[in-house]
Amino acid sequence: MTATLKQATGPQFTRILSFGAARGENAVPNDDLIGPIDSSDEWIRQRTGIITRARAVKETDAIDLAAIAGAEAIEKSGVAASDVDLVIVATISNPKQSPSVSAIVADRVGSNPAAAYDINAACAGYAYAIAQADALIRAGAARYALVIGTEKLSDVVDPADRSISFLLGDGAGAALIGPSETPGIAPAVWGSDGSKADAVGMNGTLTQFRDGEVPWPTLRQEGPTVFRWAVWEMAKVAREALEVAGVEAADLAAFIPHQANMRIIDEFAKQLKLPETTVIARDIETTGNTSAASIPLASHRLMAEHPELSGGLALQIGFGAGLVFAAQVVVLP
């Protein structure tokens, strides 16, 4: 007689229970960066909408930021840290290639021995991680998941680079995901276009740096290429995410895009024909572009400034290096 395997099943629905955040200790104004790029405060504001960006001190790394944000999300959720059995960290700035940020953070926040792993999907990483946490909980592989986007991008900045350096900030945002009696996370619309991988990414490898072939690798981008892709192609993805969620733009209480550039955010809103009642996250103005951390950081600030949004629908969309993208509609905690 052949034995029959058991397979796990979980709750039908999940939702975000809470957010947490940590930003770099220093607010760095445009005037501090304009010398090496021969620019001006006015030029940066007009092109990006950034007034200041958060950057961490030398002693703070992406792991420290993630642990602070994760601890806040757990505390605000009311879930015991020991009940969190899955930690997913999205980052491109782990100070070491191994061990994972997630395993260290799980221990620091009191969730040891939770399952823990990192993902690298650049600026779409948080949205990817939300989709995975939702699926794993509903499959019965976990009950409570801590999802974190964390970055210390000031470590991979060339101060003389005019393509992206003045955009970047440091921070971490976290969300605690758990079972729900009603739908709280819609299906993700996600994908990639690796054929355009050179449009934004690192300008060298660690082995090239080791062998003296290149300076310390830093982030670079082809600004016009990324702008056109983000505005036109990602607007299509955002509309598809609304469709698979079964809602319309008019139903949205909030729009929380990756904080890449204020002009991209404004064009998004125009393309989606968002009503005036939809609150649009604009955290980039004082935090900068924090890649995987930008959506949860913007969500955290939005909820602090607009608590009336609780229970409303938000469309979030991440997109970035490797031309990786993910969008989904969620219910705000």
Determine which one of 30, 203, 261, 289 is catalytic: 289
**Residue 82: pLDDT over 90:** yes
CA-based end-to-end distance of the chain? 49
Determine which one of 30, 203, 258, 261 is catalytic: 258
Q: Is residue 258 among the annotated active site residues?
A: yes
Determine which one of 30, 94, 123, 261 is catalytic: 123
Residue 154 contacts residue 26 (beta carbons within 8 Å): no
Show the tokens assigned to 301: 């600030």
| pLDDT, greater one: 20 or 197 | 20
Q: The pTM is what?
A: 0.96
Q: Is residue 306 among the annotated active site residues?
A: no
What is the average pLDDT value for the chain, to the nearest integer?
95
Q: What is the pLDDT of residue 201?
A: 87
Dump pLDDT digits (tens) for 215-249. Answer: 999 888 888 888 888 888 899 999 999 999 999 99
Q: What is the pLDDT of residue 227?
A: 84
| pLDDT, greater one: 313 or 322 | 313
Average pLDDT over residues 286-297: 98
Dump pLDDT digits (tens) for 116-150. Answer: 999 999 999 999 999 999 999 999 999 999 999 99
Dump pLDDT digits (tens) for 53-75. Answer: 999 999 999 999 999 999 999 99
CA distance 43 to 53: 15
Residue 220 contacts residue 200 (beta carbons within 8 Å): yes
Q: What is the pLDDT of residue 2?
A: 86
**Residue 322: pLDDT over 80:** no
Dump pLDDT digits (tens) for 148-192. Answer: 999 999 999 999 999 899 999 999 999 999 999 999 999 999 999
Phi first, then psi: what are they for 115, rounded to 5°? Answer: -60, 140
Grade residue 308 by pLDDT with cuts at 50, 70 and 90.
very high
Q: Is residue 300 among the annotated active site residues?
A: no
| C-alpha closest to that of 226 among 140, 147, 324, 332 | 324
Average pLDDT over residues 78-106: 96
Q: What is the pLDDT of residue 222?
A: 87
Residue 301 contacts residue 131 (beta carbons within 8 Å): no
Q: What is the pLDDT of residue 235?
A: 92
